[in-house]
Amino acid sequence: MDDEENIASALVRLLRRDGYNILRANSGKAGLELLAQHEVGVIISDQRMPEMTGAEFLSKVKELYPDTVRIMLSGYTDLNSVTDAINRGAIYKFLTKPWEDDLLRENVEEAFKHHEMKLENARLTQQLQTVNDTLSNVNHELERRVAEKTGEIVRNLHILQISQDILDFLPVAVLGIGDDGLIAIANQMAHKLFGNLEECPLLGEMASDVLPAELLTGVAARECCKQAEKKQVRLADGQSVNYWCYSMGELSHAKGVVLVVDPGAPS
């Protein structure tokens, strides 16, 4: 931007060989109108112009288009008048008239590299912000799912505790025996009849090691696994008990047998 036609034409001839798309203006007002219509990377402005000085123009450009790289091209005598604009960052470089062609071209090339670096930094910053926003959304979703799953686990544990309490207070012995013969479930009555909670806990033990042979024979019977009918058996100590045997697997994912023993059966 320069109000002297011969200066502007000389700059266009010099820089055109480097392949730049060059826009010309002869005043600050005209320069702002061009900037409103075009995306500009580097601005070269004279200082002494009518209506608006180059420093005033570049200061406004900095506010409106901060990504532009702004170069002042003027005489030595103008240096004091643009010092404030330089200190405020409105001017990237101050070059003097008359200029040395190669030096001016080098500075313009450097200014465009600086402009591209600013754009790349802005792009990377935006990309990083997008990634951070995505990660934040993922974290919020994970936190929501964890909270939801934690609540579900707490509810299930509460239900399981209530179920265990109910099971423990039943007046009959209840044992769950897996396909491998391992006892997986045993309530308080089962421990009272067939073991001692402190000396011989039933959970994790093999049924063949802790249950009376008479009950094991009944559990192993093929009929026991087909229908849950009450049966009576006399144990080795002479006590008669009723028992039921339920085969798992038909109505659940569990496998094995549930054995229910009623110790209150008449002898």
Per the prediction, the chain carries an average pLDDT of 86
Question: Which residue type is seen at 243?
Answer: Y
Percent of the chain with pLDDT over 90: 51
- Who wins on pLDDT, 34 or 256? 34
pLDDT at 86: 79
pLDDT at 253: 66
Single out the residue of 225, 261, 260, 224 nearest to residue 240, CA to CA.
Answer: 261
Question: Which has the minimum average pLDDT: 70-74, 147-151, 160-164, 227-231?
Answer: 227-231
pLDDT at 61: 95
Percent of the chain with pLDDT over 70: 90
Question: Which has the minimum average pLDDT: 8-12, 131-135, 245-249?
Answer: 245-249
Q: Which residues of 218-228 are buried (b: 16+ CB within 10 A; e: fewer)?
A: bbeeeebbeee
pLDDT at 109: 95
pLDDT at 257: 86
Q: What is the dihedral of CA 130, 132, 133, 135, to 10 degrees?
A: 120
The answer to whether residues 119 and 188 belong to one domain is: no
- pLDDT tier, 200 (very low <50, low <70, confident <90, very high otherwise): low
Q: What is the CATH number of the domain that holds 16?
A: 3.40.50.2300
Assigned domain for 183 exists: yes
The answer to whether residues 113 and 175 belong to one domain is: no
Helix and strand tally (H, E) in the chain? Answer: 8, 8
Assigned domain for 184 exists: yes
Which SS3 state, helix, strand or coil, does residue 177 take?
Answer: strand
- For residue range 8-24, list pLDDT tens digits in order: 999 999 999 999 999 99
pLDDT at 227: 56
Assigned domain for 235 exists: yes
pLDDT at 255: 77
Q: How many domains does the chain have?
A: 2
The answer to whether residues 117 and 206 belong to one domain is: no
Q: Regarding beta strands 69-74 and 93-96, do their DSSP bridges make them parallel or antiparallel, or are they unpaired?
A: parallel
Bridge partner list, 234:
240
The answer to whether residues 41 and 103 belong to one domain is: yes
Is pLDDT of 43 > 60? yes
Residues 40-69: what's their mean pLDDT? Answer: 92
- For residue range 86-128, list pLDDT tens digits in order: 777 788 998 888 899 999 999 999 999 999 999 999 999 999 9
CA distance 64 to 67: 9
Assigned domain for 155 exists: no
pLDDT at 196: 60
Q: What is the pTM of this model?
A: 0.55
Assigned domain for 152 exists: no
Contact between 243 and 260 (Cβ < 8 Å)? yes
Assigned domain for 100 exists: yes
Last residue within a domain, chosen from 123, 155, 179: 123
Assigned domain for 142 exists: no
Q: Which residues of 64-87 are buried (b: 16+ CB within 10 A; e: fewer)?
A: ebeebbbbbbbeeebeeebeebbe
Residue 241: give the domain boundaries. 170-262
Assigned domain for 146 exists: no
- For residue range 147-177, list pLDDT tens digits in order: 999 999 999 999 989 988 998 899 999 999 9
Is pLDDT of 195 > 80? no
